[in-house]
Amino acid sequence: MAHASQRRTVSILSVVSALALTPACVPDPVPSGPTFFQVTTPADTLDGVCDAHCTLHDAVAAANADAAIDEIRIPAGTHPVALTTPVGADGEAFRVTDDLRLVGAGAASTVLDVDGRDVRAVWRTTAGLAIEGLTVEDVGSGTGSVPRTVVAAPMATPDETVRLVDVWIDGVQPDATESGGAGNVGIVSAGGASNPTGHPFDIAVLSSRIQRVGRGTPFVNLGAALTIADTVYDRAPAVLAGPPAPAANSFMPHDVDITRTTMTDGTANIFSSCVHGVAVEYLAGADVTITDSALGGGAAGTCGGVPTGGSGSSAAGAVVGLAGFGSSGVVGRATIRRSTLDGADQSNALGILALGAATIPEVDVVDSTLLAGDGSALRVSALTLGPGQSPTGGRVAFDHVTLVGPPAGPGFGFVVPQAVPVHIANSVGVSGGAFLCGPGAALTSGGGNTFSDLACALTGPGDQTGVDPLLGPLGDHGGTGRTRVPSASSPLVDTAVGSTSTADQRGVARPHGSGSDRGAVERTFGD
């Protein structure tokens, strides 16, 4: 039998051994406390504490102060922004200083009603910000001179993101009458004085709807990469990318990617006190890719004169406006695939307007439809050239493109005052008048083109001029955007030359028959 002193020795040794093993055997403590805040009331007051009575203002303020909180959940219902003065010193309703995700119950259910209050921005963020599943309405309704935006993003550090997912923007100063200056009205704004460091960041707008936006630019996309997908614009103006003066600041141009998106009835006021009607404009080196989308140019422009520096002031009525910049040598590229650029319902509307000073952008259009108003489908211009200067760079290529001009009269086609090379293959043009070719247009053919009338020669294999392509009526024939399908007796059917296209604008596989069809749309047995 062990003595009591022996038992005490064993007990002490056991305790010592357990303590020695504790760091290796005991798991890390489980974090305590919430990882998100729950808004509990639509009231708009601010005490900075998110407890049983937690307003959206309370939740944002408390999340900024608590690094462990990265999400705020907002229930269904209408949540008015009712504070009589903005919270932030820069005129914002909400300021975000730490990465944050705002989650509503869905855009159809959770509504943030700004009620026309005179705020410069609904949110101002210097950190990553994601907004999901809610509607923002009536931002700065009425007239006034105060620029307004949904999200102002003067990013202090690189590699941050602003994401809008299932967000409806309904009304950003829709009755605005002020003029001049980029970004009078916006969705996500950065650059200029608001982003003096020029840090790059990403903007993404996914599965959203933007409508009733006043004159200005929905995205002042300076120093940011912009992705728009599965989104609808209705009565919203231009997408702008790239710095207006790269030689004068540190902004680097970044890319714009637009996919499965429609833009209609835009009236943009980008750089001057006139309406441009540009669906997408980029400046000085930003690459733009438009895929499976339908873009409408909106109202015709009212700008007069010729701008300086390739700023885009003569992009009146354009659907896509592109610009080089002065002698900087910075140019970008636009790639348009399986999309419709639709200016047919507007007078003097352009399909593509490419501007430059000493440099001209590059443009590739593939398996797409260009519907012109009374303007030109394509215009390439060199601006503000000094004595002895000539434009450099620039290249335009059309492959399986259908161009539909106005019902009567000229004013549509390839207006290329300088010798910018234009290559066209397996494309179709129909108009009430001749398709124009500007002086010095360097038009080359890859063959397989059919035009009802064309003022410049096409001498490639299988080219046809003065031939009616026998296209069917304009309408919704599948895919995104309005198209015209070749009739059964059309000379376009099965006659493409050297085609490398594997699918038409609608996504229909090519060839559908003995050969691919010319133009944007492949006729099927069901058409």
Rounded-to-integer distance, Cα 518 and Cα 427, Å: 6
Q: Is residue 372 part of a domain?
A: yes
Rounded to whole angstroms, the Cα distance separating 277 from 282 reads 14
In a domain, 148, yes or no: no
Residue 123 amino acid letter: W
Task: Give Cα separations from 286 to 158, 178, 280, 364, 523 (angstroms).
Answer: 18, 28, 12, 14, 35
Range of the structural domain that residue 300 is part of: 237-445
* Residue 296 falls inside a structural domain: yes
318 found inside a domain? yes
Reported pTM: 0.83
Number of domains in the chain: 1
CA-to-CA dists, residue 278 to 22, 43, 181, 452, angstroms: 68, 40, 15, 28
Instruction: Determine, yes or no, domain membership for 44.
Output: no
Classify burial at 181, counting beta carbons within 10 Å of its beta carbon; exposed 0-12, middle 13-18, buried 19 or more. Answer: middle
Name the maximum alpha-carbon separation found in the chain.
Answer: 118
Tokens (6 digits) for 260: 């499965």
Say if CB 419 and CB 455 are below 8 A apart.
no
- Contact at 8 Å (CB) between 323 and 311? yes
Q: Is 402 a member of any domain?
A: yes
Residue 255 inside a domain? The answer is yes
Q: Is the dihedral of CA 275, 270, 245, 228 positive or negative?
A: negative
User: For 11-50, what is the HEC assignment?
Assistant: HHHHHHHHHHHHHHHCCCCCCCCCCCEECCCCCCCCCCCC
- pLDDT per residue, tens digit, the chain (527 aa), is 455 444 444 444 444 444 444 444 444 544 455 689 999 999 999 999 999 999 999 999 999 999 999 999 999 999 999 876 666 767 889 999 999 999 999 999 999 998 877 788 899 988 999 999 999 998 875 555 566 789 988 766 666 789 999 999 988 876 544 443 334 567 887 654 344 445 567 889 999 998 877 655 566 655 677 889 999 987 666 666 555 444 444 445 567 889 999 887 655 433 333 334 556 766 556 678 899 999 875 544 433 322 222 333 344 456 776 665 544 555 567 899 999 988 766 665 667 766 665 666 778 999 999 887 666 677 666 555 555 556 666 778 899 999 888 776 655 667 665 667 788 999 998 887 777 676 656 788 999 999 988 777 788 999 998 899 999 998 999 988 899 999 999 999 999 999 999 999 999 999 998 999 999 999 998 77
State how far the Cα of 179 lies from the Cα of 446, in Å rounded to an integer: 45
Whether the Cβ atoms of residue 470 and residue 476 lie closer than 8 Å to each other: no
User: What confidence score (pLDDT) does residue 357 get?
Assistant: 58
CA-based Rg of the chain, rounded to a whole angstrom? 29
How many angstroms separate the CA atoms of 289 and 424, rounded? 19
CB-based contact 331:285 (threshold 8 Å): yes
Residue 361 lies in a domain: yes
CB 426 within 8 A of CB 499: yes
Nearest to 123 by CA among 152, 91, 162: 152
Cα 66 from Cα 83, distance rounded (Å): 23
The one-letter amino acid code at 153 reads A
- Can you give the pLDDT at residue 245? 45
